[in-house]
Structure 1
């Protein structure tokens, strides 16, 4: 058994999920199978009209994820961060341009939603292990394992768009921001809501642990 598969099984055991295989349709039409996502999923809850409208507006504003900086020092800090994170991500995404696009989009969407970038990366590691086409046993999709019902509640209902990089990260970050606001800034409880396991320690603790791997000061 490979080290990566062993780690996957251990993480699934930690979060109480059974091991199964998830189908992935490739560009050529071939059906492949890969280890599924092991995290949980958001639970559909009624939203008041004003909240739904605000969230929908935030989702719909698809500005390109191009970082802008007020000064040279800010840009240099970003480039140092990008270099450090790229080195850590190389085993998951070997192509430089793919890593750059992914990290740039994570950085942009996390900051846009007022989230800590390291926490978002930690959440992605726990949710999908950086797999773009990950699908959980309950149907959550993509990097941030967004449940398809969110596309109906906040978008046009096309769940296939959750496999698009920026769309998935936009939904995931906006949803997490929403949960943080509902929990009055309590990250522990907000992460529980995101996972559908509010009040239970396994998932928040797993994200907090993974977050430490992506903190810039450890570069």
Structure 2
């Protein structure tokens, strides 16, 4: 019951944030038209593991690492499958995506930042309006991961593979190292496969 109430409260807050974001000052920061096009394409595509063995090895390893944050094994494996699928589709390391999620939301799919970013990967809701999909729900895990992975990959390409700069762009802190260092630290300590 408490979880249902939390979800309802989060959806109400989300609706308020979406409304506020849609009417916010458009001169504050114009959305990147190139990223807009990439996001529009990404919402239509998906892929995953090469074979069952690879899936079992990776899911078992990552599930153990994630157990203290998501105790329910069904939820945990479902999230890991989504992360792997969307990271692979975007040509990102799934472990990098897990590190970003850890830093952005600590694996809370209903997280809302002070800036209004939503979900696991803390995606700004103005993107839904920008690509003509205002009914999409950024608290829906596959949707949030699709947007977040696509955005991160776009910035990685834009920065010609410079992960630190791409992460700073993702966080809106280009020119500062704090956020990229936190993600890289989480990646090194918890998610990298030896």
Give TM class, smaller chain: 0.7 to 0.9
1:28-86 Cα offsets, whole Å, 9 max, x none, are: 47759xxxxxxxxxx944434x6533431212x154x6x342xxxx4323211111111
The structure 2 residue matched to 1:188, chosen from 133, 144, 164, is 164
Gaps of 5+ in 1: 1-24, 33-42
The structure 2 residue matched to 1:96, chosen from 70, 73, 86, is 73
Q: RMSD between aligned alpha carbons?
A: 2.2
The structure 1 residue matched to 2:93, chosen from 93, 97, 116, is 116
In the alignment, which residue of structure 1 is the partner of 2:32?
47
User: Quick one: structure 1 residues 182 and 45, their matched pair in 2 at CA, closer, same or farther if it must change by over 3 Å?
Assistant: farther
| Secondary structure at the counterpart of residue 124 of structure 2 | coil
In the alignment, which residue of structure 1 is the partner of 2:152?
176
Does structure 1 retain, via aligned residues, the 8 Å contact 2:86–2:146?
yes
The structure 1 residue matched to 2:175, chosen from 193, 199, 215, is 199
Does structure 2 retain, via aligned residues, the 8 Å contact 1:192–1:199?
yes
**Total equivalences in the alignment:** 174
CA distance in 2, matches of 1:68, 1:129: 25
Give the TM-score normalised by structure 2: 0.81
| Structure with higher helix content | 2
Gaps of 5+ in 2: 11-27
Extract structure 1 runs of 4+ deviating beyond 2 A: 25-32, 43-48, 50-55
CA drift of 1:91 comes to 1.1
User: Quick one: structure 1 residues 46 and 141, their matched pair in 2 at CA, closer, same or farther if it must change by over 3 Å?
Assistant: closer
Q: How does 1:1-219 map to 2 (within 5 A)?
A: 26-28=3-5, 31=9, 44-48=29-33, 52-59=36-43, 61=44, 63=46, 67-69=48-50, 74-158=51-135, 161-212=137-188, 213-217=190-194
| Secondary structure at the counterpart of residue 163 of structure 1 | coil
Does structure 2 retain, via aligned residues, the 8 Å contact 1:44–1:149?
no
User: Quick one: structure 1 residues 150 and 51, their matched pair in 2 at CA, closer, same or farther if it must change by over 3 Å?
Assistant: closer
Give the TM-score normalised by structure 1: 0.72
